[in-house]
Amino acid sequence: MKARAYTMQALVKYHGLRDWKLRIPYHDSISVNTTCMYTEAEISENGSGGIFISGIKDESADSRLNNVLSFLAPGKFADEFRIDSSNHPSLKVKGVGFSSSAGAAITLLCYMQLKGREPGSRELSMYARLFAASAARSSVGGFSRLYAGKGHEDTFAERFADESSIDLKTVVVPLHSNVKTEEAHREVESSPFFKARIDSAQRRCDMVENAILSNDIDRLGELVEQDTLELHSVTMTGVARTILMTEDSLRVIKRVKELRNEGVRAYFSMQTGPSVFINTDSENVGKVAAAVEKMGYSYLISGIGPAVSIVK
């Protein structure tokens, strides 16, 4: 049995976790699935040994799956399964969301293997969240919102819009980094601006959702840029003073602003990594891609992606 899940671009990003066991963020978050990057995972009928990514055993992924199994099937452990996972395209970069797609695909496979049926969207998102909070959103597809509740049952993702709601296209510029996302999440709470960030991001979720449902790309772009800068500000002001942006990130951001001044619809977005998402529309996506190519960077073009599914 094989599953495919698409990565997501976080539009309102969470940073830090209020509950690490349940992987519950401090506030709601919103994302949109991509169409250009995905994970395929396959579970063997009688296999064992854990999770293998591109043929290499991944102890960190095993640990995440064990957290899922502790709620889904207490007494079961990752090494009782054989799951082979691969990312497409194969990119050794940070901040493009492969942990979200891997978590969604692997959780769906284990659920169906253990329960013998396909889960509902809400239920799957709850279990996928135990692998990675972003996997909850990736699992439901389209534009989704993760509601940060008080416990396992009321922290789930829900899709509220899809490609019929807004003409969004994204040019993804993948960039390399050695910083681990988990490390950034753990130390960000030490920023003196973290409490303000929680309040600001929670309020922004409603504004972003309204912009999407109103087909207002410019308003959406402005809100997501502000959210990106806030996210990186609290990251840089934690005790470790972690800087996730690179010179390449800043070069791309500068060019995005120049394009906007030239009349091209383009807005930057970043997650907990240096990679840059450039949000635009069908009319302008070719111009944005040409500008990125002229700068010498590789890129991917994305639409609005679907939910996780079993590959027939």
pLDDT at 240: 87
The answer to whether residue 312 is domain-embedded is no
Same domain, 41 and 177: no
Same domain, 88 and 231: no
Same domain, 65 and 12: yes
pLDDT at 97: 73
pLDDT at 96: 61
Name residue 307's amino acid. Answer: A
Cα 241 to Cα 183: distance, rounded to the nearest angstrom: 12
Count of domains for the chain: 2
Same domain, 10 and 25: yes
The answer to whether residue 311 is domain-embedded is no
pLDDT at 93: 55
Same domain, 7 and 143: yes
Cα 22 to Cα 132: distance, rounded to the nearest angstrom: 9
pLDDT at 15: 86
Strand partners, 50: 82
pLDDT at 182: 67
Cα 163 to Cα 161: distance, rounded to the nearest angstrom: 7
Same domain, 174 and 121: no
Same domain, 199 and 240: yes
Q: What is the pTM of this model?
A: 0.93
The answer to whether residue 307 is domain-embedded is no
Q: What is the CA radius of gyration of the chain?
A: 18
pLDDT at 79: 92
Successive 10-residue mean pLDDT values, the chain, 312 residues? 96 93 96 96 89 90 95 94 90 69 96 94 97 96 97 97 97 84 76 95 98 98 97 91 92 98 97 94 98 97 97 84
pLDDT at 204: 98
The answer to whether residue 275 is domain-embedded is yes
Same domain, 233 and 278: yes
Same domain, 154 and 8: yes
The answer to whether residue 308 is domain-embedded is no
What is the DSSP annotation of 137-163? HHHH-SEEEEE--SSSTT-EEEEEE-T
pLDDT at 90: 73
Domain that holds residue 195: 169-302
